[in-house]
Amino acid sequence: MKFFILQAVDSNNASNYLPIGIQLFFAIGFIATMMILTHRFGPKRQTSDKLQNFESGIEIKGNARQPMAIKYFLVAILFVLFDVEVIFFYPYAVNFRALGWQGFMAVVMFVGLFIAGFIYIIKKGALNWED
């Protein structure tokens, strides 16, 4: 038993991480070198077409800094919230027999809390678009 402990201690030293450090050093050096070389030797033709924002081939109309209704973001956040809820059902579905009634009650409580949140959202009018 003592042999395994000594072997584990001996094999976990800083020299074992030397190849990772060398690879990290060369990766950072390569990135820095390429950035410097492309900045120094790359073309620098700044025409009005290059300085203009690219909108996927569609001509720009107006200012892009117009205020947007917060409803879009609220619906997106609510979608993510309820989408993540569905992800938590997968482990229960896989292990529902092993979890038994206690697991079932935990899932019922979990769903109940989300339904309470959904009712709160509906009562607050977060999904009403006709304002």
Helix (H, G, I), strand (E, B) or coil at 63: coil
> Rounded to an integer, what distance in angstroms lies between the CA atom of residue 6 and that of residue 9?
5
pLDDT at 4: 56
Tens digit of each residue's pLDDT (9 = 90 or more) over 61-79: 777 677 777 778 888 888 8
State residue 6's pLDDT score: 54
If we measure between CA atoms, which residue out of 116, 108, 115, 113 comes closest to residue 89?
108
What does the mean pLDDT of the chain come to?
82
Query: Over the stretch 32-56, which tens digit does the pLDDT of each residue have?
Result: 999 999 999 988 887 877 777 666 7
pTM: 0.43
What pLDDT is recorded for position 114?
86
CA–chain centroid gap for 48, Å, is 36
- What integer pLDDT is reported at residue 3 of this predicted model? 56
